[in-house]
A and B are shown apart, each in its own frame.
Chain A
Amino acid sequence: MKRRDEVVVGIFVTIAVIIGIAGTLYLARRGFTKSYPMYARFDWGQNLKVGQPVNLAGVQVGFVHSVDLDPAGYLDVKMYIDRDRRIPEGSTVTVQSEGLFGDKSIAIKPCRRALPPASATEPPANAPKPKEDLTLPPEPVCRPGAFLPAGDTIPAGRPAPTLDQIMTRVDSMSAALGDVTYAVRLEFVQNGGIAELRQTIANTNHLVTQLSGVAKVQSLALSATLASLKRTLDAIDSASVDSTMRNMSAASKNLSALTRELDTATVHVNAILDKLNNGQGTAGLMLNDPGVYNNLRQLLARLDSLTADIKANPKKYINVKVF
């Protein structure tokens, strides 16, 4: 019996100690998954607490292990990331709000996905370049397969605007809207703007009425003009128009016959010209044989010398004898 007590108590103590240690580890280390540490640094006043979730692209991958206050104005945050999750190189961390309790979580924003090959996405040369906000740092681009090593510090990204900042902006917008409303009221109510507007509308109505009268008169005149034109057209003799058209048709036929004859004549002239160019026939030989040209030159030179000789010695050639 006594021995049995010892066994039962031993089992009980063992189970209780295991539950105590395992439960504490489970609560403190967010489950029994193995993890590795990563670090981040934020400005003061982020309301971060131990145990809050760390999300990568919206999926919880770890938890906040410790938050230390750096007197230089920073919070040094140690996170534990599940061992089977890896943080892409170029990722940034920000503190995000969750729910209405003011709960926070750390969001790891992965870097932009690497662009596909340049040929597929290269814009045309004359395409306008997209506007870039020069005040913001450029978003880092992933290197395929590159991950941050365990124990590294993830750089902090641009924090999302807080409710206070949004409310401040809304306040300024509200003040500006109030100024505009005041100016409108001043112009339209106190300075008689509405009365002037009504007068303008009345004048416009009057003008429209006048224009309507003018349009009516013009419409009548136009109707008269059309009637007159119709009468003139009716007066034209259709028989004479027909004969004129027939004459014009005959003239057109004659013109086409003349054109055909001219074509035939052109063919003939072209044939003659071809013959001339090719040196066929008398005229062709005369035009194309250089010997004829030379002979003619010689003949002309002789004629010149003969003419000169005749001028010089006329009596040599002309011997007029009277009786």
Chain B
Amino acid sequence: MSEHVYRRSRPTAALPVHQRWVVMFFRQMTRWVVALFGEIGERVYFGVEIFRAFTQVRTWVPLTVRQMRNVGVDSLPLAGTVAAFIGAVSGYQTVYQLFPGAQLSAVGWIVRQSIVLELGPLITALTLAGRVGARMTAEIGTMRVTEQIDALETLAYDPIAYLVVPRFVAGVTMLPLVTTIAIATGIAAGGLMVVAFTQVTLTDFTTGLHITFIPFQVYYALIKATLFGAAIAFIGSYEGYYAEAGAEGVGESTARTVVISSVVILVLDALTALYLAPQLKP
């Protein structure tokens, strides 16, 4: 009887050893796949909760401005500094990559294309993933582990509408604006650098800025920035909302936010390039 019970609880015990390993492998794979879909499902559910919470306008609107300041205004010095250095260095590097006889206006063109299409949105988003995303996770995670979220529920507040929606709205709206200023700063810094330290004149640079420009290039950058902002706010809020108990759990969630946000930003960048880049042809 006991043998029978044992076999029912661990059916692989009756199998030969090599077959037992195969079964265990597939069992583990199944667990991982199920866990993966579980993770995805949890996030989808979280997303649905966010959209549901949008209906509670009175809860999230007053709190959004504070988050907008945090995501947008307070991030501007960091984003602007990073963009300025990226623009200046890319402009300076470009001058020395030109082969003899190439037009110097190509510098302005290359700086504009690289900053507007790629570096501006991407570097800004990666920077803010560390600064804003990590902060969101730490804030919400701390509230989770100190059971403040439970207290909110007890007080009949929707914690999603109270904590997550303002951050999500701030991320979606502020990141394109920060990206816009970062792009302008990057191009200006690039122009300043090449005009001050190389033989490229301001006329060369500004002439290159206009070549093959179509407004969709800016829209493309803003679309990407919006997606990146949504990703940062969503991942930061989710990881904080479901943080494990204890300070270590919050720290883990914060680190996971930065890693996942960075990877998701790069994947989103690739996907938008895949779908929208053909329309960038002037």
Q: Which residues of A contact B (CB under 8 A)?
A: 2, 5-6, 8-9, 12-13, 15-17, 19-20, 23-24, 27-28, 30-31, 49-53, 60, 63, 98-101, 103
A-B contact sample (17 more), CB < 8 A, given A12-B69, A17-B177: A2-B65, A8-B69, A9-B65, A13-B68, A13-B177, A16-B177, A16-B181, A17-B180, A20-B177, A20-B222, A27-B210, A27-B213, A52-B212, A100-B101, A101-B102, A103-B105, A103-B211
Q: Which residues of B contact A (CB under 8 A)?
A: 62, 65-66, 68-69, 72-73, 76, 99, 101-103, 105-106, 112, 177-178, 180-181, 183-184, 206-207, 209-215, 218, 222, 282
* Chain A residues whose C-beta falls within 8 Å of the C-beta of B65 in the assembled complex: 2, 5-6, 9
A112 CA / B215 CA spacing, docked (Å):
39
* Chain B residues whose C-beta falls within 8 Å of the C-beta of A6 in the assembled complex: 65
Known: A8-B73, A27-B209. A20 touches B106 (CB 8 A): no
A13 CA / B69 CA spacing, docked (Å):
10
> Whole-angstrom distance from the CB of B102 to the nearest CB of chain A?
6
> Whole-angstrom distance from the CB of B145 to the nearest CB of chain A?
27
Nearest 4 pairs of A and B residues by beta carbon = A16-B177, A99-B103, A20-B180, A100-B101
A193 CA / B44 CA spacing, docked (Å):
96
Of all chain A residues, the one with the shortest Cβ separation from B104 is A99
Q: How many A-B residue pairs have CB under 8 A?
A: 86
* Chain B residues whose C-beta falls within 8 Å of the C-beta of A98 in the assembled complex: 103
Cross-chain contact B210 with A101 (CB below 8 angstroms): no
Known: A8-B69, A12-B73, A100-B101. A50 touches B214 (CB 8 A): yes
* Chain A residues whose C-beta falls within 8 Å of the C-beta of B72 in the assembled complex: 9, 12-13, 16
Cross-chain contact B112 with A53 (CB below 8 angstroms): no
Cross-chain contact A101 with B209 (CB below 8 angstroms): no
Known: A12-B72, A16-B177. A49 touches B102 (CB 8 A): no
> A24's contact among B68, B207, B215, B282, by CB below 8 Å, is which?
B215
